[in-house]
């Protein structure tokens, strides 16, 4: 009962605050599109996405193992050890990310023709320096987010998100409209947003990381470093390779369409993080309690699955008009991709009980290695799925990228279920609405693609789906809302 009361008294408030921050981020990200698409083209957005995937590669390497070690050690360590742990992890991240930023600046002139091919962008040293600055800023901010997540401080993450959203919006708008920097404004806005997020993180952390690093925790990082480097390399290569394959086979403008579709995927992911970050410490506690049956985890994630399902169905019905209106018609081809990315996200956020159990049992590193291996395999198949190699291939374009992503996500979720069987825990199936959401989203996409319908008719069908879900799940939703009530 004490746990239940704590969940009721604090979890709802943290989630609502987090959702508010994500709502602000979504509103600002959408509001700026009509302005940026007046001055920038799909190719400009594609160039930005390509270069950001390179910096993301560097960020994936700069963690050093801290994100893997924190879930396993933070919750069971005393206060003083936590401070030394965090200080050690921040030192490693700062050193690695700064070195990688310098390496990026030195190597980019030689790498640019390989990564970009025929795609060219604002080839200025300013743009390169802005991109390099993002690497340490984002690395330190991400580590702070992980600290807040494992310590149950979702409010601090919400503040990070809000600050970054406002900083990115204001910075991009000022540099694009006020200073007329063209595509460089996208990079300047990203830097300002990261600075704002890191400033908030520093205030929230206070004196916690300002202590002498510990040799013990540096050794822990060292033990996790090989896995972190392996997963970082694969994640980084995946991001760069994905965009490069699209650019090489269907053009840099298609990278712009794909990155715009991923914008909505990212906004959905951020919304799920409102629950994931605030529920992570609860899920880890349930994983360590053999009698928990992950009741709280299952209740909350069922709601998330329903909301993601409604997003996918809604975008299948109205996405084309929505994107055309927001982007002045320049990025409309991105709209049909979004429902399939919603399907991908449904798969990726399934199996949350299994995910928590794997990390609580100290098998997070093994799972990360498997995920990295799957990522490399997926990257190797992309060229023949997206285009052709030596005259052979499916030439599916962007659709091929999404198909590979979905297959990869399915295989990894199956692996998590297999891994959990080794721990002797029998976990009930909690992903019914993942399956239902996938079926309904694909059905809505096929119906809208194959049958011309008015907006009114589509609105009526969508309203019917919403009403049907409310009727079918009224008891479950009422119980969940009762649990989360202040």
pLDDT of residue 479: 67
Find the Cα–Cα–Cα–Cα dihedral 229, 406, 374, 366, rounded to 10°. Answer: 70
When pLDDT is cut at 50, 70 and 90, the band that residue 153 belongs to is confident
Residue 483's contacts (CB-CB under 8 Å, 6 or more residues apart) are 4, 7, 8, 296, 299
pLDDT of residue 244: 79
Q: What is the mean pLDDT of the chain?
A: 82
Find out whether 374 and 312 touch, Cβ atoms under 8 Å.
no
pLDDT of residue 400: 92
The predicted-structure confidence for 270-308, as pLDDT tens digits, reads as follows 788 777 767 777 787 888 777 777 878 877 888 889 999
pLDDT of residue 3: 41
pLDDT at 1 over 80: no
When pLDDT is cut at 50, 70 and 90, the band that residue 9 belongs to is very low
Find out whether 309 and 346 touch, Cβ atoms under 8 Å.
yes
Q: Tell me the mean pLDDT in the region 372-384.
A: 88
State the Cα–Cα distance between residues 273 and 283, nearest whole angstrom.
14
**Cα–Cα distance list, 371 to 66, 227, 233, 265 (Å):** 18, 11, 12, 20
**Cα–Cα distance list, 109 to 105, 225, 227, 321 (Å):** 8, 29, 29, 40
pLDDT of residue 20: 80
pLDDT of residue 14: 65
């Amino acid at each position: 009962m004490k746990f239940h009361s704590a969940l009721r008294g604090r979890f709802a408030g943290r989630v609502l605050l987090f959702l508010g921050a994500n709502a602000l981020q979504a509103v600002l990200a959408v509001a700026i599109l009509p302005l940026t698409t007046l001055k920038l083209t799909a190719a400009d957005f594609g160039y930005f996405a390509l270069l950001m995937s390179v910096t993301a590669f560097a960020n994936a390497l700069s963690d050093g193992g801290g994100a893997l070690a924190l879930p396993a050690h933070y919750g069971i360590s005393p206060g003083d050890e936590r401070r030394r742990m965090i200080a050690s992890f921040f030192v490693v991240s700062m050193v690695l990310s700064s070195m990688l930023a310098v390496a990026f600046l030195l190597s980019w002139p030689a790498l640019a023709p390989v990564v970009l091919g025929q795609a060219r962008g604002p080839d200025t040293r300013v743009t390169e320096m802005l991109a390099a600055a993002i690497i340490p800023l984002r690395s330190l901010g991400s580590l702070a987010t992980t600290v807040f997540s494992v310590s149950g401080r979702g409010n601090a993450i919400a503040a990070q998100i809000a600050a970054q959203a406002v900083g990115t919006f204001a910075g991009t708008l000022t540099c694009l409209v006020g200073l007329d920097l063209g595509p460089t404004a996208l990079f300047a806005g990203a830097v300002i947003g990261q600075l704002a997020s890191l400033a908030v993180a520093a205030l929230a952390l206070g004196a916690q990381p300002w202590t002498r690093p510990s040799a013990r925790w540096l050794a822990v990082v060292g033990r996790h470093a090989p896995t972190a480097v392996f997963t970082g390399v694969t994640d980084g290569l995946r991001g760069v390779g994905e965009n490069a394959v699209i650019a090489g086979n269907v053009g840099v403008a298609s990278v712009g369409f794909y990155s715009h579709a991923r914008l909505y995927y990212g906004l959905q992911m951020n919304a799920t993080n409102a629950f994931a970050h605030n529920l992570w410490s609860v899920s880890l506690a349930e994983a360590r309690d053999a009698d928990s049956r992950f009741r709280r985890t299952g209740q909350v994630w069922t709601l998330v699955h329903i909301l993601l399902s409604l997003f996918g169905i809604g975008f299948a019905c109205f996405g084309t008009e929505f994107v055309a209106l927001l982007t002045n018609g320049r990025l409309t081809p991105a709209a049909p991709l979004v429902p399939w990315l919603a399907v991908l996200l449904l798969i990726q956020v399934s199996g949350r009980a299994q995910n928590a159990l794997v990390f609580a049992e100290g098998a997070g590193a093994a799972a990360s290695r498997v995920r990295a291996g799957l990522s490399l395999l997926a990257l190797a198949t992309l060229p023949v799925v997206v285009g052709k190699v030596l005259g052979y291939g499916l030439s599916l374009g962007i659709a091929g990228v999404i198909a590979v992503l979905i297959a990869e996500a399915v295989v990894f979720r199956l692996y998590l279920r297999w891994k959990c069987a080794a721990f002797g825990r029998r976990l009930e199936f909690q992903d019914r609405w993942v399956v239902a959401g996938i079926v309904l989203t694909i059905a809505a996409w096929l119906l809208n693609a194959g049958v011309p319908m008015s907006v009114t008719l589509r609105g009526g069908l969508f309203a019917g789906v919403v009403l049907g879900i409310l009727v079918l799940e009224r008891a479950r939703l009422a119980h969940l809302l009762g649990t989360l009530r202040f």
